[in-house]
Amino acid sequence: MGRRPKPQEGVQGGIKVNQAGLDRLSRAIRLLPEKAAGRRVMVGMKRAMRPVRDDARDAVESRSGALRKSIHVVNGKRSKEGNPYVVVRVNPKTSVQYSDGTGATITRVPKTYLHWIIDGVYKGVRTSATGFVIYDGETGRPLRVKKISHPGIDGVDIFGDAFKRNIQTVLATSFDAIEKSIDDWKRKNRIP
């Protein structure tokens, strides 16, 4: 049985940490009032997560644009002063209205169909007692049918993939984004 390797200095949880930047940031945070420090950290973390948000928006196929517009960065649900974190998510309140080719107004609420995009849809035949309404491609007239054959859709983990592609950018810019947030607050409140 081998010995467990010693953790490397500056490496925490498999992520290399810029120790000098962390010390500099800790000193800057200690100089602020307690409430302001917590808010400034969250603002800086939100700024650092913007590349993930933008990448997730780019990964979404855009029909109405509702899902693309509703992806944003917010404080985590259980985020608190001692354990702050931010997440990229779909705004549950966002809805978009647009009209299709027949003149009908369609309302899309992304939170209701996001799971189909992430998990996918199985391939198969769908049946309905009342029937499905589909539109004729040539005339645009609605047709009611009892069965449809769905080709299926592969799921796309838009948030996980966007985070994996941008983790290095987030880590590299997070300290600077928090420091900029602190400097902005000091400038606004005329604190040297």
Are 185 and 28 a contacting pair, CB within 8 Å?
no
Range name among 12-26, 57-71, 106-120, 133-147 with the lowest pLDDT average: 12-26
User: Which has the higher per-residue pLDDT, 48 or 100?
Assistant: 48
Alpha-helix runs per DSSP H in 31-65: 34-48, 50-59
- The overall average pLDDT reported for the chain is 83
Band (pLDDT 50/70/90 cuts) for residue 3 is low
Range name among 37-41, 79-83, 125-129, 133-137 with the lowest pLDDT average: 79-83
**Residue length, the chain?**
192
Q: Which of 68, 75, 41, 43 is nearest to 53 (CA)?
A: 68
The enclosing H or E element of 68 equals helix 66-70
